[in-house]
Amino acid sequence: TRKSRRPPPPSVVTGHLTSRQELRTRRNTVTFILQLGEALCLPRQTVSTSIIFFHRFFSRQSFATHSRYDVSVACTFLASKVDETPRKVASVVLQSHMLLERINKSTSSAITSEAAPATLDLKSEEFLELKDRILILERVVLQTLSFDLTVSHAYKPFCDLMSLLKSKYTSGGFVTKGGENVGQQVLAQIGVGV
């Protein structure tokens, strides 16, 4: 049997990016999403949902059409609502702006100062434009994904199993003949906090 191959993404089809450039762009943007999720104190599942939305979006849209960073911010904002860990749009916009300022400063060789990125004034024109752009892109993401926001995380069954094992090990379910609870030792070895 032949493996079914996914069609190339629109950015590659249109010639905007090569496959290698497209992969690098995706990786860099996923790193940005991870940093944004951390800055917003989002749970790992919400960040993963955001990354999935981002990949789904750009499997149907070209990187030439939309700013990858703006789309990733909209995906993170949407994922926070879908996974019921909502963040205010102002917080999302401010954190993303600070991260992007840091990224721009690190890639610009002209700026060498270690000064902290300037925060936006919530009443400034720039903030209002960014906020509006993110809210509009949220709707664009929803339409592009055909409002299919269902995400099945592959690691969810693993986490459930770890919780079950943790409860068994810590409840005395795994005790040696000498009365020693080996469960806590095993959990420590595999990196699960007791």
pTM over the 0.85 mark: no
Q: Which two tokens stand for residue 156?
A: 């969810």
Cα angle 90-53-40, degrees, rounded to a multiple of 5? 35
Using the predicted structure, report yes or no on whether residue 148 has a pLDDT greater than 90: no
CA dist 117 and 133 (Å) reads 21
CA dist 82 and 76 (Å) reads 10
pLDDT value at position 21?
87
| pLDDT tens-digit map of 60-109 | 888 888 888 999 999 999 999 998 999 999 999 999 998 988 887 776 64
| pLDDT tens-digit map of 109-129 | 444 445 555 677 778 888 899
Lowest-confidence segment of 15-29, 72-86, 150-164 by average pLDDT: 150-164
pLDDT band at residue 176 under the 50/70/90 scheme: low
Contact (Cβ atoms closer than 8 angstroms) between residue 80 and residue 42: yes
Letter for the amino acid at 104? N
CA dist 129 and 132 (Å) reads 5
